[in-house]
Every structure is written in C-alpha cells, then in structure tokens.
Structure 1
Amino acid sequence: MITALLLGAVEAAAGSVAAVRVRGARITGQISIRGGNVDHELVLSGCHLDRSVDFTGSTTRTLRVTDCRLPGVSGGGMRVAGHLSLSGSWVTGAVRLARAQFESGLWLGGTKIVTDEEWALYSGAMVVDSGFFVKNADFTGGVRLVGARLNGGFFLENATFRNPGKNALTCDNMVVEDVMEGAFDADGCVRLRGARIDGTLSITGRIRGTDTAYALHASHIEAREFYLKPAEAIEGVVNLAHSRFQTLHDDPDTWPEKLRLNGLTYERLRGGGVARRIGWVSRDPGGFRPQPYEQLAAWYLRDGNDGLARRTQLAKLRARRRTLAPSGRAWGRLLDITVGYGYRPWLAALWFVLLLVVGTVVFSVSPPRAIKPAETPGFDAFGYSFDLLLPISAFGQRELFDPVGWTQGLAYGLIIAGWILATALIAGATRVLRPT
C-alpha cells in the first residue's frame, strides 16, 4: 500500500501537497521502489519494519524514517530532491547509499546501526549538497565514505564508531567543502587518506587503534586548519605523512607515542615549545627522517626564531648520527662535542681557552728548553701554548723551544687538539652554510 501510494496510485487532491505519513505502525511487507520516480514525501515515525527499505536507483522527494526500527536500508544510486533522515532509528543491518545524491542533507542524528557485515554504513562516492549530520549516532561495523563529496560540512559530535581491528571510519579521497568537526569516539582505524577539507578539520574525541596498522591514517590530506586535539593521547600509530595544512593546532600533552610526519608541510604551527617539538618530529616508528626536522626549522625561520631553527637542525644531525656506521658516529660525536656541528661554534672557543689555560699553567711550572739558547728570546708560556694550539705559529715560540719530559706529550696533545678544533670548526661552518 505504501509503495503504491508513493508511486501515484491515488492522485493528489487539487491545491494540496501530497505525502505518505505513517506513525507507530508495524509494517510487515517491504517498501521497495527500485528505479522508481517518487513525487511525494515519505514520513515514517516510530514504526517497526520487518523488512529493509529499498530505494536503489530511485528518484524521490524527502524521506524521513525517524525513531523507527528496521533491518536495513538500500539506496545505492538514489537521487533525493530533499533530504534523507534516519534520525533516532535503530537499524539492525547495513545502510547502503553508494553513489546516492542528497540535495538538502543527510541526517543520522541519534541513529544506531548494528550489523555483522563489514560495513554498517556503505556510502562511497555519495554526494550531499548540504550538511551530513551524525551527531550522537552509534555505529557497530565500519563506516565507508570513500570518494564522498560533502558540500555542506560533516558533523560528528558525540558519534561512536566501533569496528575493532578494522577500519572504523574510512574517508579516503573524501571532499568536504566546509568543516569536518566533532568529538567522536572510534574503536578501530580512522582513515582520511587523500581527503580534502576546504575548511577546518577537527579531531577532538578519542581514537583507539592499537590492533590496526594505524589508529589515524591521515596522509596526503589537505586542510586549511587542522585541530588535532583529542581528549586523550591516540592509542596507536598516527600517520600525517605528505599532508599539507595552512595551520596545524595540537597539544603536546596528547601527542601519540608513534607519529609519522615525513613529507608533512604547514605554514603555521600552534602549540608546544621547541624542546617538545623536537621530540614531536622524532617519533617516527620507522626511524630517522630528515624532512620533519627541516620543515620545523623552516617554520621557525619564517617565524623569526633563528635560534630555535639552529637547535632543530642540531637535533636532526644528532638523530642522523645514530643511523651511521661506527666511524661516522665517532666523527659526528667529535663534531658535536667541539662545535655542535657548526651550530655552536662558541664550544670551540671554550675548548681553546681551556686548553690554553692548561698549557700556560703547565709550561709556566715546567718550561721547555731553548733550542738555541744564545739566540732565543725570553720564554712566554702563554704565547708558547697559543702557538701549539694554532695550526700556524703566531708568536714564533713553537719553533724556538722544545718541551722536555712528560710535557712533551702535552705539547703534542695541544697540537693535535688545535688541528681537531680547526678541522671541526671548518667542517661545522661548511655544514651550516651548505646543509645536506
């Protein structure tokens, strides 16, 4: 009867807007309008449907199935000149809306979908020309929105997605022309790979994905602003690789332990001091990646923080050192100790002054013997030590005196230390001027 009325079995009275409205009924037959054209609204409120609703390939007006209980909805390829609402309904099977189009929104506020199938909501390539609302919704089974286009925003406040060990929310290559926001809970992987959010992307709920490869897979996405401020640290690996944001907001207190940032670019960064940011870019479970350090240093330079940029570059070189062969690690440690890889040249001055003081004191107590006593001027312990530390003699003391006894070893040590400091300083300066 309902199907017949929707398909025009009874002509509408003149001067009225026809619709089919049913409240509190038990509907035993199937409402099936596959490929049909429906010119009237369907409003089911508080009904119990024994069989699924099927609007596959149909063209309809607004459909409201609210506060009902039903075993599933099939609407692949349907065209709705209005909106579809399943708000408050309890669906015990899959809702399939692949390639469907909705002119005035899709409403799943308070909807509960429980299914043993792989997908509770299957809506790939769906187009919603107004908002998609899943506030207070509860899904047991995966939600698939791959390739969907949501022109009026995606609102997920207090939504719950349960699909442990699998994809809880899959939005690969989705396009949202407005905002995607809401403090939702997800037990399983949340995938946004390749998505484009032309407004703000906000993730402020809870995500638990320790039994999946990623808890949040948000690589290759674009968004004007990205708020990654979950209520608690995300459990599992978070992947932001090769994504691009104008502004990234996050909270150091909720950074995940494992975070992939290789290829991530941003114009502005908000939240966290430099010391913690260096820890932020070093959480890649795959090991050292130079690009996150370079991106962070570049942002500090744009922000006018040259000192913070140098600290970031120094941290990058220290992290890289752990990936080198033993000889490379030894040379890197020497550069770090002596000149801080060129980012702390004042360390070389400190070493030079320390060795100069040691040499001056020792040679003042145990002066070397003159090579040609008759032709040698007076001995100067400071000048002699200074000459030993310089690769090229400045005061002419080194050629006139020869250390004796155990001080000979000190003299050789000062010469070697001077060459090491000079080499390290040149190598460090070259690294700063031409970073690799």
Structure 2
Amino acid sequence: MGRTPRLTEAERKLWNAFPTGDFVELGLVTCGIGPVAGENAPKDGDTWGPERSIRAKVISSLLLGARDAGGGSVPAVRLRGARITGRLTITGGTIQHELVLEGCYLDEPIQLTNCTTQTIRLTDCAFPGLSAGGMRVAGHLSLSGSHITGTVRVGRAQFERGLWLGGTRIVGDDEWALYAKAAVVDSGMYLRNADLTGGIELVGARLNAGFFLEDAKLRNPGKEALTADNMVVEDTLRCTRGFQADGCLRLRGARINGTLEIRGIIRSPDTRYALHLSHMEARELLLKPAEPIDGVVTLAHSRVGTLHDDPDTWPEKLRLNGLTYERLRGSGVKRRIEWVTRDPEGFRPQPYEQLAAWYLSDGNDALARRTQLAKLRARRQTQGLGSRAWGRLLDVAVGYGYRPWLAGMWFALLLAIGTVVFALNPPRALKPTESPDFNAFGYTFDLLLPLPAFGQRELFDPGGWTQWLAYALIVSGWILATALIAGATRILRRPQ
C-alpha cells in the first residue's frame, strides 16, 4: 500500500471507516421514497462547506484498493449527507467493494464506463448524470429517490441483481433520460414512482425478472417516451396504477414471456403511433388504460395468447392487420366487429377473418357469420361502381349468403303480391279450350321459379300493366336464385 494521501477531517472519517464498511454521516438527510420523485434529494448541496465535502478522488482510491481491508469485516464506502467534489471517474477498473451514497450531492457527472463492480447504491442523491456503459455489476445498481439532471447511460451494462430507479427523477440532457440499449438486467428492473423527462432507450435489452413502471411518469411529448424494439422481458411488464406516458410507447418486435399490462394513461396524438406494439409477442396482454389512448394504437402482425381489453377504452384508431390471438377476454363480445373496423388506413380483411375464426373456436357461430358479413360490406366500399351495385344486391337479397332466410322472405313477399294482383287481374288463357282453371298462386309461383313447377306460366298471358309485373317477377326470381348460388359458393369456398 502506498502512502496515505493528505486528507481533510471529513475525508479522514471516511478513510478510517472503510475497512469495516461503517456509515459515515456528515449531515442529516431524509431517506426513503416519497410521494414525489426525487423530493428527498438535497437541493442546497452546492452550499455545503469543507466539513461535509469529500473529494471524488478519495472515494475512487478506496474503491480501487488504496486502503488495506484488514480481516474480520467487509470493507465498503458508505457515506451519508456529503458533498462530493470533482468527478468520480473509474474507467475499465475492477471495484471489489460496495459504494453506498445516501442523501449526497455530487458536483459533476459520474463515470463508471466498462467497470466491473459490486453493488452501487446512489439513493436520494443529486448529481448531473451517470455514464456507465458496458459496466458489469455483481449486485444491483440503485438510483432510487435521486434527482439526476443529466442522462443515465448504462448501455450494454449487466446487472446481476437488478436495476432500481424507484422514485427517481431524471431530467435528461438530450433526447434520452435513461439510455440502456442492449442492457441485461436480472432480478427485475424497477421504475416505480419514477419521473423521467426524456425518453427511455431499451432496444435489444433483456430483462430477466420483469419490468415494473407502476406510478411512473414518462415525459417526452412529440417523441418516444419508451423505445424498446426487440426487447425481451421474462415474467411481467407492468404499466399500471398511476402510470402516465406523454409520448409514444414503442415495443416493436418485443417479446414478453409473460404478461404485458397497461392500465395507465398514454397520450401521444402528434406522433405516428401512441402505442406501438407491432410484430410483438406476448403470452397475455391486458390493454385496459385508465382512459382511451390519445393517438393511434397498432398491434399489427403481433402474436398474443390472451388479449384482455374493455370496449369503454378502445382507441379510436386501432391497427389490427396481421394480429393473431388465441383468446379474447373482457366485455363487449358482440361489439368486437366494431373493434376491427377502427383501422385509420381503411379496410383490412385479416382482422375480420381472425375474429371470425375466434368466434368459431369459442362456439359463437352466429357472430362468426355476422363478422364475415361485416367484412364483405366493408370490402364493398373499396370496390368499383359495378361491384358495389352487385354486392349491395347480394347483401339485400341474401346477406351475401350468410342470411339465406332473406331470400325466403323476398320470395314470400313477391309471391303474395303476385297472387293478389293476378287474382284481381287474371291473365287471358292462350288456349281457352285446353287450359286448366287459372290459379293465381300457382301462376305467380311459376313466374318466380327459373323452372316452372305448375305449368301455369306457359298457358296464360298477362296483359296491360300486369305484363310488366310478370316480367319483374321473372327477373326477381332469377336474381334470387343467382344470389343464393353466389352466396352459397362464397360460404363453401375454401378461404384463400
């Protein structure tokens, strides 16, 4: 060991307490997560004098072995209510001891890039940012309750026992408040009651014991509040209770091997999407925000095991093209057809097909037919004039084949009209001596059928305006028959 550096009285206390890991208290502080993020962090630390000041160089020297540890105890740097002057910088080093700072004020950003460390706890502290990309923490990193006026950068970092930012307030100095791209976090990532101004970057991150954002506030209006493309979460991703995001929540391509639960408030009308969940996989998705999401929501091309939602909070603009699911849960089973019509880009057939398939698997055959009918009606609006006219005729006549009883209703109505009219205005017999007695019912029935059944149509000839009625009945009969055949063919045809 080298010569002991020249130390102030406050630094000497820390130096002597290091071998046993005792706390050194240089002032009274309030610790613990309060109702307001970062409220316990010191606000006047820049006014603290020498009696409460420790040079960052002394702390880094202790962490890197400048003081013998001795035996029979676990050495550590544990400091409370101190002002840390200078920059705490350890780059690429191996830190064998815990660093615990509570209620401290740091003049400059912390730099721990590419370090291998034990647990680091910077709780209820105030400091201007943390740069720790590539660090390896054989324990956990806690910034709980702190007020950080700069970006926290932990990209490519690994945390064996978790990343804790409960009650942390971060005001990023650029686009990001928390940059953790490709980070690996075991034992959970916690942002409960956190308040972040700027985005969270978690692209390619792996969170092996859940991601918890209860009561968190994410503020990045007009931009992405959370960017987590291709993120993998084991267990649960929870945005519940008082969770609020002003900005887009983007989890494109993420994989949630458990439950994704969204019950808070999301507002991002001025970005392309407010909630971007396309190409995602989740065993269970609970999409029950406290109010309808303000902005476009996309679940396009995602795969969900069980989807829970609530019609009262369905977003006005919802993209479902390519979404597949095994089960739908929640109220409004009969209103699901409305649910699949909310694509802001217009008609897409796949959401209807997926919903109809689910209705069938759930035993709701009638709702499945209603869904297919709704799909054909929606498709009609995208077709040309001729196709729209034919489609409308099929719809009115037989409900595109999904309502064949309509054909029977029209047939009965036309049969009744013809029977009454021809009973009052009987046509003349073509061969009076050979013709049977005229029967208005049989005559009308023959007119409506493409192939006569009673032989009345060939033996009698209507006159005057009833002749036009006869022609109309013949045409109507062919239309009904064609519509029935077309509808049956559509139903029986194998889906493409």
TM-score scaled by length of structure 2: 0.87
Quote the residue 2:374 is aligned against.
315
1:259 is aligned to 318
- 2:371 is matched by which residue type in structure 1? T
Written as runs of structure 1 = structure 2, the 5 A alignment for 1:13-52 is: 13-52=70-109
Q: Give the counterpart of 1:140 among 193, 197, 207.
A: 197
Whole-Å separation in 2 of the counterparts to 1:273 and 1:37: 58
CA displacement at 1:130 relative to structure 2:
1.0
Counterpart-to-counterpart distance in 2, 1:323 and 1:272: 31
Structure-2 change in CA distance of 1:116 and 1:52 (3 Å): closer
Alpha-carbon distance, 1:29 to partner: 1.1
| 1:160 matches 2:209 | no
* 2:126 is aligned with 1:69: yes
Q: Paired residue for 2:390? A: 331
Q: Which runs of 4+ in 1 moved over 4 A?
A: none
Q: Is structure 2 residue 275 aligned with structure 1 residue 212? A: no
Partner AA of 1:186 in structure 2: A
The aligned amino acid for 2:404 is P
Q: Does 1:230 align with 2:284?
A: no
Equivalents in 2 of 1:296, 1:273: separation in Å? 13
1:394 pairs with 2:456:
no
Q: In structure 2, what is the equivalent of residue 178 of structure 1?
A: 235
2:153 to 86, 92, 96: 96
Give CA deviations for 1:54-82 in whole Å, capped at 9, x if unaligned: 11000000000000000000110000000
Given the alignment of the two structures, is residue 111 of structure 1 paired with residue 171 of structure 2, yes or no?
Answer: no
3-state secondary structure, aligned to 1:11: coil
Residue 380, structure 1, aligned to residue 439, structure 2: yes
Indicate the residue corresponding to 1:304 in structure 2. Answer: 363
**How far is 1:129 from its partner?**
1.2
Task: Give the Cα–Cα distance (whole angstroms) in 2 for the partners of residues 118 and 334 of structure 1.
Answer: 56
1:129-152 Cα shifts (integer Å, max 9, x gaps): 111000000000011001000001
Identical amino acids, percent of aligned pairs? 73
- The CA distance in 2 between the partners of 1:376 and 1:328, in whole Å, is 44
- Give the counterpart of 1:202 among 261, 264, 284: 261
Distance in 2 between residues matched to 1:272 and 1:67, nearest whole Å = 44
Q: Root-mean-square deviation (CA), in Å?
A: 0.7
Quick one: which amino acid aligns to residue 405 of structure 1? G
The answer on 1:415 being equivalent to 2:474 is yes
Deviation at 1:252, TM superposition (A): 0.4
Deviations 1:301-339 (A, max 9, x none): 001111110000000000000000011100000000000
Task: Give the distance between the partners of 2:435 and 2:173, measured in 1 at CA.
Answer: 98
2:350 alignment partner, SS class:
helix
Partners of 1:271 and 1:179 lie apart in 2 by 20
Aligned partners of 2:151 and 2:173: how far apart in 1? 9
The more displaced of 234-243 and 113-122 is: 113-122
Give the aligned length: 436
Q: Whole-Å Cα distance in 2 between the matches of residues 249 and 178 of structure 1?
A: 17
Return the offset for 1:275.
4.0
Equivalent of residue 123 in structure 1, options 180, 187, 192: 180
Q: Secondary structure at the match of 1:378?
A: coil
Kindly indicate whether residue 337 of structure 2 is the aligned counterpart of residue 278 of structure 1.
Answer: yes
Partner of 2:35: none
Equivalent-residue separation in structure 2 for 1:149 and 1:335 (angstroms):
53
Corresponding residue of 2:301? 242
Aligned equivalent of 2:486, options 424, 427, 433: 427
Distance 1:45 1:13 in 2: 25
Output one character per residue of 1:234-254: Cα deviation in whole Å (capped at 9) or x when no partner: 000000000001100000000
Deviation for aligned residue 1:30: 1.1
Paired residue for 1:359? 418
SS in 1 for 2:418: helix
Letter of the structure 2 residue corresponding to residue 357 of structure 1: A
Of the structure 1 ranges 265-274 and 195-204, higher mean CA displacement relative to structure 2 is found in 265-274
Deviates most, 182-191 or 56-65: 182-191
Contact between 2:448 and 2:474, CA under 8 Å: does it hold in 1?
yes
CA deviation after TM superposition for structure 1 residue 272, in Å:
3.5
Q: For residue 430 of structure 1, give the secondary structure of its aligned residue in structure 2.
A: helix
Ranges in structure 1 where 5+ consecutive residues have no aligned partner: none
Instruction: Tell which deviates more after alignment, 267-276 or 330-339.
Output: 267-276
| Partner SS, residue 235 of structure 2 | coil
- 3-state DSSP of counterpart to 1:114: strand
| C-alpha distance in structure 2 between counterparts of 1:344 and 1:20, whole Å | 78
Higher gyration radius (CA) = 2
Alpha-carbon offset, residue 28 of structure 1: 1.1
How far off its partner does 1:271 sit? 1.9
Kindly state the Cα deviation for residue 15 of structure 1 after the two structures are TM-superposed.
1.1
Aligned-pair distance for 1:274? Answer: 4.2
Contact 1:274–1:308 (Cα < 8 Å) also in 2 = no
Structure 2, unpaired ranges of 5+ = 1-57
Q: Which residue of 2 aligns with 1:78?
A: 135
